[in-house]
Amino acid sequence: MDYKAAGVDISRADEAKSRIKTLAKGTFNPAVLSEIGLFGGMFQPNLAGYSEPVLVASTDGVGTKIKVAIAAGVHDTVGYDLVAHCVNDILVQGARPLFFLDYIALGRMDPERVEAIVRGFARACAEFDCPLIGGETAEMPGTYAADDYDLAGFIVGVVDRKKALTGAGVREGDLLIGLPSTGLHTNGYSLARKVLFDELRLSVDSQVAELGTSVGEALLQPHRSYLAALEPLLDRNKLRALVHITGGGFQGNIPRVLPEGLGARVRPSAWAVPPIFRLIQKGGGISDDEMLRTFNMGVGMIAIVAPDDHHEVEHSLERRGESSFLIGTVVAGTGVTFE
């Protein structure tokens, strides 16, 4: 026997790595000191503009959105989703991205599929000036089915310590400004798939009038990054906190950035909920509370700002082509309540 007979094809892995190198190199900037394929990626950041630089690191995946990508045969979006998600996670603490690494695990090595996934990584990394400096592609027969795969992303960014967003400056009466999402982003797909595919018997190719597109296209809308929209406000110290609405929804994420003794009051009527969420809620008979706990409901990021800065924040977002809506306030108490 040999390794190939056991289910691991090294020659196909080498072909995939060759394709990856070209894509990754297109994301490099002068701070990258190594080539793809070494045991570790080398990066020399320019920290001249920071008085007390602090590294901020995060890791995440895209969950069962991958199942939708596999069913649709579309693999160049989930890589983009993962980078955007990770960029948002460190942005919440005021950090800009420095570099990114990926992990791809597959049941069967498919160089074309791997190339499509990494093409998504590369597109996002180039857009956010976040070089893809390394990663791992693991063929794992017996752990994953032949056509299955999973992704993980790892990001490192930097923020000046005095400008880091910790939530400590949040005060009662501060305003919650919502920024729109482009759909589910990367959370809630297990529930969404159960409702749409199991209960409603739809497929990724099903055309739904209220969506104006197929189910697959609606579910594979990219996870937005809010870096470009919020950078000017970070530079001017106009943000007291940021909340990335991911797993756990509003109830699980807003309290993460609030000081002890403070909660939030949110008005879901303040924004138009995208049709995909209404379809899921109606199809599954899901309560409002469960929807707000599971999905972003059309709000991907929340900026917490002082009342006196409200109009300046809105105008800054408008100048960047970003829409926003006032969705609530910080109140005395704990947790999140809805009105």
Q: Supply the mean pLDDT for the chain.
A: 95
Q: What is the reported pLDDT for 6?
A: 74
Q: What is the mean pLDDT of residues 83-93?
A: 98
What tokens does 21 get? 């190198």
Residue 96 has pLDDT above 90, yes or no: yes
Q: What is the mean pLDDT of residues 237-250?
A: 96
Contacts of 85 (CB under 8 A, 6+ apart): 60, 62, 153, 185, 186, 223, 246
Instruction: Write the DSSP symbol of residue 76.
Output: S
**Angstrom distance (rounded) from CA 44 to CA 51:** 17
Residue 3 has pLDDT above 80, yes or no: no
Residue 5 has pLDDT above 80, yes or no: no
What tokens does 90 get? 């460190």
- Coil/strand/helix, residue 202: coil
**Angstrom distance (rounded) from CA 169 to CA 154:** 28
Condensed to tens digits (0 to 9), the pLDDT of residues 168-201 reads: 999 999 999 999 999 999 999 999 999 999 999 9
Q: What is the reported pLDDT for 323?
A: 95
- Superfamily of chain region 10-163: PurM-like, N-terminal domain (3.30.1330.10)
Residue 2 has pLDDT above 90, yes or no: no
pTM, two decimals, is 0.94
Q: What is the largest CA-CA distance in the chain?
A: 72
Condensed to tens digits (0 to 9), the pLDDT of residues 42-60 reads: 999 999 989 999 999 999 9
**Angstrom distance (rounded) from CA 219 to CA 51:** 43
**Angstrom distance (rounded) from CA 270 to CA 12:** 52
Condensed to tens digits (0 to 9), the pLDDT of residues 145-177 reads: 999 999 999 999 999 999 999 999 999 999 999
Q: Name the amino acid, one letter, at 152.
A: A
Q: What is the reported pLDDT for 171?
A: 97
Q: What is the reported pLDDT for 71?
A: 97
Fold of domain 175-338: Phosphoribosyl-aminoimidazole Synthetase; Chain A, domain 2 (3.90.650)
| Domain boundaries, given as residue ranges, for the chain | 10-163, 175-338
